Chain A
Amino acid sequence: MSETNPSTGSDESPRVLSRELVMLLCLLALVVMLALTALLSRLYHKKIHTLADAMFAQGEMDEQAGQVNFALADYRNALAYNPTNPLFQFHLAKALSAANRGEEARSYLLNMLSESPGSGEVNLELARIAARVNSMADAMRYYQGAIYGEWSSDPMARRWAARRELCETLLNRGEVKQAAPEVIALQENTPTGDLARLRIVAQLLLRTQQWTRALELYRTLLAADRNDQESVAGAAQAAFQLGQYNTAMEYFDQLPHDRREQADLANPFVLTGRILAMDPFLSGLSAEVRSQRATNALTLAQTRAETCARQTGQPLEGAPPQTELQRLYEQEKSLQPDWTPRYLERFPDRLDAAMAYVFAVENAAATACGETQGDDRALWLLGRSRSVVNR
């Protein structure tokens, strides 16, 4: 067969042989090139990983020394040589966040999140940045991502810490209602034997005004360590808020004087003392003392009503009565004869009615003129606790 290549005009057989040789040479060249590229690539990667690790280590040192700007430069250098290293990215993002460059940090973190959406660490950092810029919807979403996300080490503890941070973030923003269920969830996720964390939870329960749960938890803590002053103080506060003044006073009494004088306890302690001194319903009191306390309360209430009337410019004797205080004054005028110390001592139901009147006056005055301090405040709190008890 004698054929001619249309393109070259050469004889076919030598050309084919030549192609074979060329292909063989090409294959050999490819193998050599592969080996060379592999060698170069290995050397290069080794070099840049060494460089990147050194820069990252330097960045960590700078960060620990508080030199955030140097740390940022080092982390960026490290990342330039190893752009996909999540550890480098995360540290750079954290450093940016610490340098108040939240938007830049957020960008890196979002990138990381797109690659590992379940990362607890990344979600937590994003939540912090979102909270800092008051983007609470995003913050909540990322906190939830952190709470239910994956953690590289000690996941239970990290999730617990993330939820605690969420609770504190919400409380610091006054979002008590939003924080309450999170604190309950936190309590449920706290091991019963972990007293340190239980103390934190109890504090958060107090801050979210979950007094019953708080008191219960403080009792548990005190059962484990009855000398724990913070637990005693917490229990006292919870009991005070629940209107359990006797219990509160018992706890206050366990505290040293200087602790009771501290800002968080001073006012509740004083008020508890006053309430207990004014309460005519305390068990163990003689009829005479009850009557005396009720009479004093009536006098205080009357004075409070008059003061408030003067403050609002609406005299107590209004015809027809228009305000709550005027209505109560009318009622008091008709019942006053029944509330003499003698009657009050002899007829307990009249004492109940007199005290109900006192509480109503304190309530009305608080509504019309604002809350007050001292004995009036004590009476108002007593009335509130009685209404809770009655309910």
Chain B
Amino acid sequence: MSDPLVIPPTTEPDVATPAADAPHAERMGLRARWQAWTHAVFTLREDRFFLLLAVFIGIFSGLVVVCFRLAIEWTQITLLGPSLSPSFPRVVLAPMIAGFAVALLAIHVFPRVRGSGVNQVKSAMYISNGYVSFTNVIGKFFACALAIGSGQSLGPEDPSLLMGAGIASLIGRSLRLSQEKLRLIAPVGAAAGLAAAFNAPISAVLFVIEEVIGTWSAGVLGAIVLAAVSSVVTMRAFLGADSLFRVPLFRLAGPGEVLAYVALGVAGGAASLVLLKWIVWARPKMQQLPLWAEYLQPAAAGLLIGLIGIRFPQVMGAGYAIVDQAMHGQFGWQLLLLLAGLKLLATGISFLSGTPGGMFAPVIFIGAMLGGAVGSIEHHFFPALTATIGTFALVGIGTLFAGFLRTPITSVFMVIELSGNYTAILPVIISTMIAYGISRAYQKVPLFDLLARQDGIVLPSIEERREMTSFVVEDAMRTGGVLVSEPGDHIVEVAKRAEAHPEAALLLRMRPGEWWLLDRDDVLRLAPDAARTTTPIHAKSKGPVPYLFRDQSLAEALQVMGDWPVLPVASRADLGKLEGILTLADTLHAFRKTPKED
């Protein structure tokens, strides 16, 4: 039987292997070369082929994201004009008219274009065997470019994530990958898309693992990293290697200064809650509106944002240039606070109207403004603080990200990756953890799970899964109820002990790491007539019995258990030392116990 992981050779039976006949292949010309190459590629083990494919997907996703970003920029220049402060008629009309066009596209041409890209990738992974519609990719591209470019307060990251996943899914389906790989290929593409959009490969990898996959799976980690890196390299080849923001240098003057970020954590947590609660409350109501309202919602949102944009054009679009300005201290605390509030309002309006687009960029914007405002106020009262406004703005980004999207690890690393400054790690950790804690305390269900549930889908909650109690052997094993014999013991002694402990299991330790299970009845049968040389080896026994360690999960233990009534639990330091035994009844009993009882 062939190994299912090995893809069989592609060559016809009459074609020799390329290693043996390389000169011959050269003579045979292009066809033979192609066959030799495909042979080399397709005879790779599927997991290696998957890694190669990840690079390919990364390059493809990188190219698509570059085109997507160019499309947004071009739309913005065309619709709003080249200035950062668009003129009056444009600022109101462009988002409104574009909003109506987006609504038509979303209703008639690309019906799945609305909704969170993250959840669509999760749906692909957990529901539709890795299927992401390529039509949806095209729809996201055009609808989001039009929406974001016209000034709707949304960002390009979430659509980029979905585009990457869609491309990966299409390639995977076309190559007829195994079902398992097809499920995993969507997150690989998602990481590539997000990495290219953020120009931050580490953050993208962490986000996909933290939010989409939910576990550190070694099988997919390599592919995700390769896809993310190759997409970023591709993107940088066209758009340059500069990070999203140019963050001024800073250093902490002393450990006491990190306390200044506690207030930022609290403010970030509160702001996250405001946006989350608003979405929780308003989205179901918006979804209940009649169909005709769907035609008008994005246009109305565009009109409202345009009206805000007359006085505060900063809130329009993704707003990266404005974040950059805030990091360079260009706004006073009053304006920073106002921009944070207005952006929150504009983002809520855009998102709730069903306009396709991502929330990452607005969250970055709000976080930066809020961070800058808190920093400015703290500077006012504590002028000795050495951190610049830019530092607070940067930390604010991570803080709101952690509070709103509930991805604390990504948030911390994103800030470091965006700033290129490790000094930020302590303030970011403090601030993000506070915001994350506040957000969790007052909003039990995270954003993406909430959106999925509102859409009638039950996707696995990564946050719940991450924090679910994992039972280990130690929780179920018993330390008594077992008698251990050695090959040199006399059978009579063993039988006496067995009679004294009628419930105990009888284990025979042949040598360290080799355990056998003795048949009690046979031991008792042999004992009365035993010769001086009769040992437990002469009794019926089954083995060698697989053994466990106390830190292994009970799920693993169940897999190992099979038909064995008892499994020995050995010490990792000394395989001959028995630490306890595990039975099926013990295992089930442990699962029945609630954490509270524990």
Instruction: Give a binary string over A90-119; 1 marks a CB under 8 Å from any B CB, 0 the rest.
Output: 000000000001011011101101100000
Contact with A along B15-59 (1 / 0, CB 8 A): 000000000000000000010001001100000000000001001
Interface pair B325/A76, CB less than 8 Å apart? yes
Check A84–B242 contact: CB distance below 8 A: yes
Q: Is A6 part of the binding interface, using a Cβ–Cβ cutoff of 8 Å?
A: yes
Contact of B70 among A5, A17, A41, A73 (CB under 8 A): A41
Q: How far is the CA of A22 from the CA of B77 in the complex (A)?
A: 38
Number of interface residues of A (CB under 8 A): 49
* Residues on the B chain within 8 Å of A291, using CB: none
Q: How far is the CB of B386 from chain A (nearest CB, A)?
A: 12
Q: Decide: A44 and B7 in contact? CB cutoff 8 A.
A: no
A250 at the B interface (CB under 8 A): no
Of chain B, the residue at the smallest CB distance from A12 is B8
Q: Are A83 and B329 in contact (CB under 8 A)?
A: no
Query: Could you tell me if B38 and A20 are in contact, using CB atoms closer than 8 angstroms?
Result: yes
Whether the Cβ atoms of B82 and A77 lie closer than 8 Å is yes
Q: Is A226 an interface residue (CB 8 A)?
A: no
- The distance from the CB of A170 to the nearest CB of chain B, in whole angstroms, is 25
- Check A20–B239 contact: CB distance below 8 A: no
Cβ-defined contact, B60 with A55, below 8 A = no
Collect the chain A residues with CB atoms within 8 Å of residue B584's CB.
none
The yes or no answer to B179 lying at the interface (CB within 8 A) is yes
Provide the residues of chain A in CB contact with B288, threshold 8 Å. none
Does B176 sit at the interface, judged by CB under 8 A? yes
Instruction: Give the docked Cα–Cα distance between A133 and B481 (Å).
Output: 80
B139 sits at the interface (CB 8 A): no
| Interface check B4, CB cutoff 8 A | yes
Question: Is the pair B82, A110 in contact by a Cβ cutoff of 8 Å?
Answer: no
Contact of A55 among B82, B85, B321 (CB under 8 A): B82
| A308 vs B10: C-alpha distance when bound (angstroms) | 117
Q: In the complex the two chains form, what is the Cα distance from A33 to B67 in whole Å?
A: 9
**How far, in Å, is B404 (CB) from chain A's closest CB?**
26
B330 close to chain A: CB less than 8 A: yes
**Cα-based distance from A7 to B130 in the complex (angstroms):** 13
Which A residues touch B578, using CB under 8 A?
none
* Contact in complex: A22, B175 (CB < 8 Å): yes
Cβ contacts under 8 Å, A47 to chain B: 74, 77
Interface set, chain B 324-374, CB cutoff 8 A to A: 324-325, 327-330
Q: A20-B42, A110-B249 are in contact. Are A33 and B63 (CB under 8 A)?
A: yes
Known: A1-B8, A83-B324, A107-B329. A30 touches B56 (CB 8 A): yes
Is A177 in contact with chain B by the CB < 8 A criterion?
A: no
Known: A107-B327, A108-B328. A18 touches B246 (CB 8 A): no
Inter-chain CA distance A175–B22, complex, in Å, is 82
Known A-B contacts A20-B38, A47-B77, A73-B85; A30 and B59 likewise in contact (beta carbons under 8 Å)? yes
A107 adjacent to B328 (CB under 8 Å): yes
Contact B246 A26 (CB under 8 A): no
Q: Check A37–B246 contact: CB distance below 8 A.
A: no
- The answer to whether A22 and B248 have CB atoms under 8 Å apart is no
Contacting residues, chain A, for B171 (C-beta < 8 A): 22, 26
B248 touches A110 (CB 8 A): yes
Among B66, B84, B249, the residue within 8 A (CB) of A76 is B84
Known A80-B84, A83-B321; contact A23-B63, beta-carbon cutoff 8 A: no
Instruction: Determine if A132 is an interface residue (Cβ-Cβ < 8 Å).
Output: no
In Å, the complex CA distance between A3 and B56 comes to: 28
Report if A114-B248 is in contact (Cβ < 8 Å); known contacts: A16-B42, A51-B82, A104-B330. Answer: yes
Shortest beta-carbon distance from A71 to chain B in Å: 14
15 other A-B residue contacts (CB within 8 Å) besides A44-B73, A73-B84: A12-B8, A16-B10, A18-B176, A22-B175, A23-B41, A25-B174, A26-B56, A33-B63, A37-B67, A44-B70, A48-B73, A51-B77, A76-B84, A77-B84, A107-B248
Can you list 24 A-B pairs, Cβ within 8 angstroms, ordered by A? A5-B178, A7-B182, A16-B9, A16-B10, A19-B38, A19-B175, A20-B42, A30-B59, A30-B63, A33-B64, A37-B63, A37-B67, A47-B77, A48-B77, A51-B82, A73-B85, A80-B84, A83-B242, A104-B329, A107-B327, A107-B330, A107-B390, A110-B249, A111-B249
